[in-house]
Structure 1
């Protein structure tokens, strides 16, 4: 019994060492580094950066090292700093020969962001379906929620938890008519009134077929979206940008990114790879192009993508410059590291060498 107690004590001691020692090591020595704010400039056909130097001064420069004043920077990013240019009466009539107005800029500018912690979280299985054609300017939240079971879709009134059998049958019948195989594998939407319009949900069935579901004047709308042969989707995003150039973004099992347009065509975005479960993606879009930032292990990858055909214009990779002793020899000094939290999710559980 005494030997068994010593064994338990030794195991607990080892666990505490591989948990606390790396934590103290990184707390004392490791200095995290973030990439500068980066955008693609159509005016100079290059990536430009803003960052704070050692003297706490804001530096604006391009990838060649050329530095710019604040006004010069406004001029090479006229779509991003449109409000400032309009306020100064400096907004150009055209950009690289293409006529453009501040109103067009406002409509087509957007920001999109997805993080692993948002993706890797449990789903409640209950969803709000907003009315997409209410005849009113403002959207409103419904009084019910829906869930998709192995036999169909059910709408449940939140006030009394009663199933709306008539509405459930109406939607289920249409889904069966469109050969939807229950239950759904993927269900994604933006159930919020803080947007200009509602596009409902993108969802896949048990046979990996892609559908678009929304409600128009209380009636179901369901469209089957033809996928290229062999394409198996693992993640869906409903975009609902003001410019309405895209209906959603799709990711397949090969980590390729696709844009779904309002006419239900699917076009590959020429980004080499994107794993939504482990990488952060940020999109700054405008009338002419997207700046796509993908943050992964040890590097930030930037891609300038044409907004019309989603082809690659230019790319830039920012690698962390942290070459300190702590960073170089962490794996050598501590080959086994135990943690309980992660940047990939919000669960608390044991993890080895993540």
Structure 2
């Protein structure tokens, strides 16, 4: 990624937010159906443990007030889901880290959509050149759930001397765009993310149990310093902070903008099961700016509003965008010659 966001600004409770934020209302809310760790201090961001390769539901919720973003009503928006590094040290070397992972795991992806389980997503796509990214269209007025699978584990990006629970944290990041006058989804609407760690199968359940047992042994006074374990993980809003870098380095990375949280939210559950859909839940928000993203043309394939999709649809993803830099270079050199 070529850009990194501002550091998180965490707040203990919604009531402490400044009054000016009360007039700002995030248009969307994304809820990951997985429980947060109970071993997180009050002023820290929530942390959620996931099992490698397991399908987890992300609920895509329309959080607009009446009259907000009328241009989106009755239309679809595009959401891009990514798994990115939480630590800045790894953010600056993300391209190299992912290339190394690709070399060790040929043919595998860091992130996949479980299309048969997903509901309401339209034209889901993956790009072979972006192993940590999936995208799709969805109608905010309809029930939409995207089931994702994370295939990398946190310890794959740590030195060999580390292991077990010493794995690096990741972020699940969602950026949503609306259609512009040319029919391209480039107008940024909203971004949010949450912090996760990924374990080998069943490892997340064991880690959650270990954290819970540790908290049970603490005194009541010590417990007051920690957050409860929320049943679901609410992705929190982010703002963009551009990073100026060498043009050559940017060309080598060939990556899009990065976002990190502006504040923290709540979070849930086991194995992708979720409590009933919330009618409306508040999420802290902060200013966002339009990130650079290359639009693509979309086919008419969609996932129906049920889980009756055929597993064969998983292969119906379309690569896009990977040849744009080479096309530009070709035109550039053609002009010179």
TM > 0.5 fold call: no
- Normalised to the residue count of structure 2, the TM-score between the two structures is 0.25
Structure number with the bigger relative contact order (C-alpha 8 A, sep ≥ 6) is 2
Larger Cα-atom Rg = 1
- Normalised to the residue count of structure 1, the TM-score between the two structures is 0.24
- Greater strand share, structure number: 1
